Amino acid sequence: MTIRQKVLLVEDSKAVQQIYRNKLTLEHFQVITADNGMEAIKALSSERPDIILLDLMMPVMDGYKVLQVVKTDPKLSPIPVLVFSAKGQPEEVEKALNLGAAGYIVKATTKINDVIDQIKTTISRKPVVQEVTRYEVGIRTDAYDAKRLAEDFKFGNFTCPACAAEMVLSLIPDFSHDTPWFSAKFLCPKCRV
Ligand SMILES: [Zn+2]
Protein backbone atom coordinates (compact mmCIF):
# COMPACT_ATOMS: atom_id res chain seq x y z
CA MET A 1 0.00 0.00 0.00
CA THR A 2 1.29 3.41 -0.87
CA ILE A 3 0.68 6.38 1.36
CA ARG A 4 -1.14 9.06 -0.52
CA GLN A 5 0.25 12.54 -0.27
CA LYS A 6 -2.01 15.08 1.28
CA VAL A 7 -2.87 18.46 -0.22
CA LEU A 8 -4.57 21.23 1.71
CA LEU A 9 -6.49 23.26 -0.85
CA VAL A 10 -7.44 26.71 0.43
CA GLU A 11 -9.78 28.39 -2.02
CA ASP A 12 -12.99 30.38 -1.56
CA SER A 13 -14.45 29.55 -4.98
CA LYS A 14 -16.38 26.28 -4.70
CA ALA A 15 -16.12 25.85 -8.48
CA VAL A 16 -12.32 26.07 -8.48
CA GLN A 17 -12.21 23.83 -5.39
CA GLN A 18 -14.26 21.19 -7.22
CA ILE A 19 -12.06 21.23 -10.33
CA TYR A 20 -8.85 20.87 -8.32
CA ARG A 21 -10.30 18.31 -5.92
CA ASN A 22 -11.33 16.08 -8.85
CA LYS A 23 -8.01 16.42 -10.63
CA LEU A 24 -5.90 15.90 -7.50
CA THR A 25 -7.96 12.85 -6.51
CA LEU A 26 -7.42 11.38 -9.99
CA GLU A 27 -3.70 11.97 -9.47
CA HIS A 28 -3.91 9.92 -6.24
CA PHE A 29 -3.59 12.78 -3.81
CA GLN A 30 -5.63 12.98 -0.66
CA VAL A 31 -7.39 16.36 -0.63
CA ILE A 32 -8.54 18.48 2.29
CA THR A 33 -10.31 21.75 1.48
CA ALA A 34 -10.77 25.02 3.33
CA ASP A 35 -12.95 27.93 2.15
CA ASN A 36 -10.86 30.67 3.72
CA GLY A 37 -7.76 31.35 5.77
CA MET A 38 -9.41 30.85 9.12
CA GLU A 39 -10.59 27.38 8.11
CA ALA A 40 -7.11 26.59 6.82
CA ILE A 41 -5.50 27.44 10.16
CA LYS A 42 -8.14 25.35 11.92
CA ALA A 43 -7.44 22.40 9.60
CA LEU A 44 -3.71 22.70 10.28
CA SER A 45 -4.26 22.12 13.99
CA SER A 46 -5.24 18.51 13.27
CA GLU A 47 -3.95 17.77 9.75
CA ARG A 48 -0.42 17.58 8.43
CA PRO A 49 -0.52 18.15 4.66
CA ASP A 50 2.49 17.55 2.40
CA ILE A 51 1.75 20.79 0.60
CA ILE A 52 -0.64 23.73 0.81
CA LEU A 53 -2.27 25.27 -2.27
CA LEU A 54 -3.26 28.71 -1.16
CA ASP A 55 -5.48 31.30 -2.78
CA LEU A 56 -4.45 34.85 -1.88
CA MET A 57 -7.70 36.75 -2.19
CA MET A 58 -10.24 35.25 0.19
CA PRO A 59 -12.80 36.56 2.66
CA VAL A 60 -12.41 36.25 6.47
CA MET A 61 -8.63 35.71 6.38
CA ASP A 62 -6.59 36.12 3.21
CA GLY A 63 -3.73 33.99 1.95
CA TYR A 64 -0.97 36.39 3.03
CA LYS A 65 -2.07 36.08 6.64
CA VAL A 66 -2.16 32.28 6.38
CA LEU A 67 1.36 32.28 4.90
CA GLN A 68 2.58 34.43 7.73
CA VAL A 69 1.06 32.18 10.38
CA VAL A 70 2.46 29.04 8.71
CA LYS A 71 5.95 30.40 8.08
CA THR A 72 6.47 31.84 11.57
CA ASP A 73 5.33 28.65 13.31
CA PRO A 74 8.32 26.28 13.59
CA LYS A 75 5.99 23.25 13.54
CA LEU A 76 4.24 24.33 10.32
CA SER A 77 6.98 26.19 8.46
CA PRO A 78 8.49 23.09 6.75
CA ILE A 79 5.22 22.57 4.82
CA PRO A 80 5.72 24.02 1.32
CA VAL A 81 3.09 26.53 0.21
CA LEU A 82 2.20 27.24 -3.43
CA VAL A 83 0.09 30.35 -3.85
CA PHE A 84 -2.57 31.01 -6.43
CA SER A 85 -2.09 34.44 -7.87
CA ALA A 86 -5.05 35.71 -9.88
CA LYS A 87 -3.12 37.46 -12.63
CA GLY A 88 0.50 37.16 -11.57
CA GLN A 89 0.88 40.80 -10.54
CA PRO A 90 4.55 41.25 -9.57
CA GLU A 91 3.68 42.90 -6.25
CA GLU A 92 1.39 39.99 -5.28
CA VAL A 93 4.00 37.43 -6.21
CA GLU A 94 6.82 39.29 -4.46
CA LYS A 95 4.81 39.69 -1.27
CA ALA A 96 4.02 35.97 -1.24
CA LEU A 97 7.65 34.94 -1.85
CA ASN A 98 8.80 37.34 0.87
CA LEU A 99 6.43 35.62 3.25
CA GLY A 100 8.01 32.25 2.45
CA ALA A 101 5.91 30.79 -0.39
CA ALA A 102 7.71 27.99 -2.27
CA GLY A 103 6.25 29.17 -5.58
CA TYR A 104 3.19 30.58 -7.23
CA ILE A 105 0.65 29.61 -9.83
CA VAL A 106 -0.96 32.20 -12.08
CA LYS A 107 -4.52 30.97 -11.93
CA ALA A 108 -5.80 32.56 -15.12
CA THR A 109 -3.11 31.19 -17.43
CA THR A 110 -1.76 27.95 -15.91
CA LYS A 111 -3.06 24.62 -17.21
CA ILE A 112 -4.18 22.21 -14.51
CA ASN A 113 -1.64 19.58 -15.63
CA ASP A 114 1.14 22.11 -15.10
CA VAL A 115 -0.21 22.80 -11.63
CA ILE A 116 -0.04 19.07 -10.85
CA ASP A 117 3.57 18.97 -12.11
CA GLN A 118 4.48 21.93 -9.97
CA ILE A 119 2.88 20.31 -6.91
CA LYS A 120 4.86 17.10 -7.48
CA THR A 121 8.15 18.94 -8.02
CA THR A 122 7.65 21.08 -4.95
CA ILE A 123 6.84 18.10 -2.70
CA SER A 124 9.84 16.10 -3.94
CA ARG A 125 12.24 18.97 -3.39
CA LYS A 126 14.21 18.67 -0.18
CA PRO A 127 12.52 20.85 2.39
CA VAL A 128 14.32 24.11 2.73
CA VAL A 129 14.15 25.45 6.22
CA GLN A 130 12.79 28.88 5.56
CA GLU A 131 14.50 31.41 7.78
CA VAL A 132 12.00 34.11 8.54
CA THR A 133 13.79 37.30 9.45
CA ARG A 134 13.28 38.48 12.99
CA TYR A 135 14.67 41.43 14.86
CA GLU A 136 15.23 41.59 18.56
CA VAL A 137 15.18 45.01 20.08
CA GLY A 138 16.28 45.90 23.58
CA ILE A 139 13.93 47.88 25.75
CA ARG A 140 15.00 51.06 27.53
CA THR A 141 13.31 50.42 30.81
CA ASP A 142 13.82 54.01 31.97
CA ALA A 143 11.94 55.44 28.99
CA TYR A 144 8.42 56.62 29.74
CA ASP A 145 6.66 54.51 27.10
CA ALA A 146 8.48 51.40 28.24
CA LYS A 147 7.46 52.03 31.86
CA ARG A 148 3.87 52.41 30.78
CA LEU A 149 4.07 49.26 28.65
CA ALA A 150 5.44 47.35 31.62
CA GLU A 151 2.51 48.50 33.72
CA ASP A 152 -0.07 47.81 31.02
CA PHE A 153 1.28 44.34 30.34
CA LYS A 154 1.94 43.65 34.03
CA PHE A 155 5.63 43.02 33.49
CA GLY A 156 8.06 43.21 36.37
CA ASN A 157 10.32 45.75 34.61
CA PHE A 158 10.63 43.61 31.48
CA THR A 159 12.33 40.70 33.17
CA CYS A 160 11.56 37.08 32.40
CA PRO A 161 9.36 35.53 35.11
CA ALA A 162 11.27 32.23 34.74
CA CYS A 163 14.93 33.29 34.66
CA ALA A 164 14.86 37.03 35.39
CA ALA A 165 16.81 37.87 32.21
CA GLU A 166 15.92 41.13 30.50
CA MET A 167 13.18 40.68 27.91
CA VAL A 168 13.60 41.97 24.36
CA LEU A 169 10.99 43.00 21.85
CA SER A 170 10.93 40.50 18.99
CA LEU A 171 9.78 41.97 15.66
CA ILE A 172 8.66 39.80 12.75
CA PRO A 173 8.17 41.62 9.42
CA ASP A 174 4.64 41.23 8.09
CA PHE A 175 4.75 41.64 4.31
CA SER A 176 0.98 41.26 4.02
CA HIS A 177 0.66 45.01 4.55
CA ASP A 178 1.51 47.65 1.98
CA THR A 179 3.39 49.77 4.52
CA PRO A 180 6.29 48.58 6.70
CA TRP A 181 4.62 46.44 9.32
CA PHE A 182 5.70 44.12 12.11
CA SER A 183 4.14 41.66 14.46
CA ALA A 184 5.79 42.05 17.84
CA LYS A 185 6.08 40.03 21.00
CA PHE A 186 8.13 40.14 24.15
CA LEU A 187 10.73 37.44 24.28
CA CYS A 188 13.19 36.14 26.86
CA PRO A 189 16.51 35.80 24.97
CA LYS A 190 17.49 32.86 27.21
CA CYS A 191 14.27 30.87 27.44
CA ARG A 192 13.23 31.89 23.87
CA VAL A 193 9.62 32.19 24.94
ZN1 LIG B 1 13.89 33.52 30.72
Residue 138 pLDDT: 85
Distance separating alpha carbons of residues 140 and 42, to the nearest angstrom:
38
**Last-in-domain residue among 70, 103, 124:** 124
**Average pLDDT estimate for 42-62:** 92
126: DSSP letter: P
Determine the 3-state secondary structure of 188 from DSSP. Answer: coil
Identify whether residues 115 and 140 lie together within a single domain: no
Q: What distance in angstroms lies between residue 150's CA and the mean position of ligand 1's atoms?
A: 16
Q: What distance in angstroms lies between residue 106's CA and the mean position of ligand 1's atoms?
A: 45
Identify whether residues 11 and 48 lie together within a single domain: yes
The boundaries of the domain holding residue 15 are 6-124
Strand partners, 9: 33, 53
pLDDT interval class at 54 (50, 70, 90): very high
pLDDT tens column, 165-190 = 888 888 887 777 777 888 888 888 88
Q: What distance in angstroms lies between residue 160's CA and the mean position of ligand 1's atoms?
A: 5
Q: What distance in angstroms lies between residue 157's CA and the mean position of ligand 1's atoms?
A: 13
Q: What distance in angstroms lies between residue 32's CA and the mean position of ligand 1's atoms?
A: 39
Q: What distance in angstroms lies between residue 148's CA and the mean position of ligand 1's atoms?
A: 21
Identify whether residues 44 and 89 lie together within a single domain: yes
Residue 144 pLDDT: 81
pLDDT interval class at 38 (50, 70, 90): very high
pLDDT interval class at 162 (50, 70, 90): confident
**Average pLDDT estimate for 47-72:** 91
Q: What distance in angstroms lies between residue 149's CA and the mean position of ligand 1's atoms?
A: 19
Q: What distance in angstroms lies between residue 187's CA and the mean position of ligand 1's atoms?
A: 8
Identify whether residues 117 and 140 lie together within a single domain: no
Burial class (CB in 10 A: 0-12, 13-18, 19+), 28: exposed
Q: What distance in angstroms lies between residue 143's CA and the mean position of ligand 1's atoms?
A: 22
pLDDT interval class at 128 (50, 70, 90): low
Q: 48: which residues sit within 8 A by CB, 6+ positions away?
A: 6, 79
Q: What distance in angstroms lies between residue 174's CA and the mean position of ligand 1's atoms?
A: 26
- How many domains is the chain built from? 2
Identify whether residues 44 and 74 lie together within a single domain: yes
**1 pLDDT above the threshold of 60:** no
Which pTM was predicted? 0.74
Residue 7 pLDDT: 97
Residue 83 pLDDT: 94
Q: What distance in angstroms lies between residue 77's CA and the mean position of ligand 1's atoms?
A: 24
Distance separating alpha carbons of residues 177 and 69, to the nearest angstrom:
14
Q: 54: which residues sit within 8 A by CB, 6+ positions away?
A: 10, 40, 63, 66, 67, 81, 82, 83, 84, 101
Q: What distance in angstroms lies between residue 188's CA and the mean position of ligand 1's atoms?
A: 5
- The average confidence (pLDDT) of the chain is 87
**98 pLDDT above the threshold of 70:** yes
Identify whether residues 118 and 145 lie together within a single domain: no
User: Is residue 130, in this structure, part of any structural domain at all?
Assistant: no
pLDDT tens column, 20-33 = 999 999 999 999 99
Determine the 3-state secondary structure of 3 from DSSP. Answer: coil
